[in-house]
Amino acid sequence: MSNTSAQPGTVYLVGAGPGDPDLLTLRAAQLLAEADVLVYDALVSEPILDRVKPGAERIYAGKERGNHTIPQEDINHLLVRLAKEGKCVVRLKGGDPYTFGRGGEEVETLAANGVPFEVVPGITAAAGVAAYTGIPLTHRNHAQACVFVTGHLKDGTMNLDWPGLARRRQTVVIYMGLHGLATVCAKLVEHGLPPDWPAAIVQQGTTPNQRTVTGTLATLPGLAEAAHLKAPTLIIVGETVTLQSKLSWFEHQAWRDD
């Protein structure tokens, strides 16, 4: 199916990746060039939107903290309506549609209404940001497991599996955790990790606005506040953070100083 052209009356849930347009998949780029309608999120970067077919209808459905342009249930039914109007619909999401992207909820609605769909995976923020900051998600000497978790639950709480997260020999990646950073760090220490456990927070990874702040569970909240970081951010906790200073490459590229 990945070699076929986009079909009318179909919804394509497409992962836009973490921000750098060069990280789009070939299938994603093809669909952007063929879509009749684009329904896109706040985390989709402008250089990626520049690849959308000229004349395609664009509908912004972004969700930012405390400001949901269109409620999720309405987005679900919007996709159904557009497809039943015979349009080729691309639902473009930052990162990967099935990794904290609510793609599962949207596909459930499409399937329940008999709407054809295809899911096009994207590079999730954890993988992209880790690569661009020089923090491996796994490493034989430091971490044999990796856990992805959201720092913002549906009910607004941070009632996470803290004992499971506060373990050595693993890397923990927290999405959407900027405003809860102090709580994250305090809870991980409360449940067993030492205060000097390595931790980092990355702003707008893989884009020209990428900034990385490294520290420990004890120091990171203060360092992040002093740096005046802006969402979206990604928190990475674990021993592999100690490799960042020697493996970092993106933030030191010469073109960033032009």
Q: How far apart are the first and last CA of the chain?
A: 42
d(CA 128, CA 131): 5
Burial of 183 (0-12, 13-18, 19+ CB in 10 A): middle
CB 172 within 8 A of CB 211: no
**Catalytic amino acids?**
41, 63
Helix axes 220-227, 181-190, angle to 10 degrees: 170
For 48-74, letters b (16+ CB in 10 Å) and e give beeebeeebeebebebeeeeeeeeeee
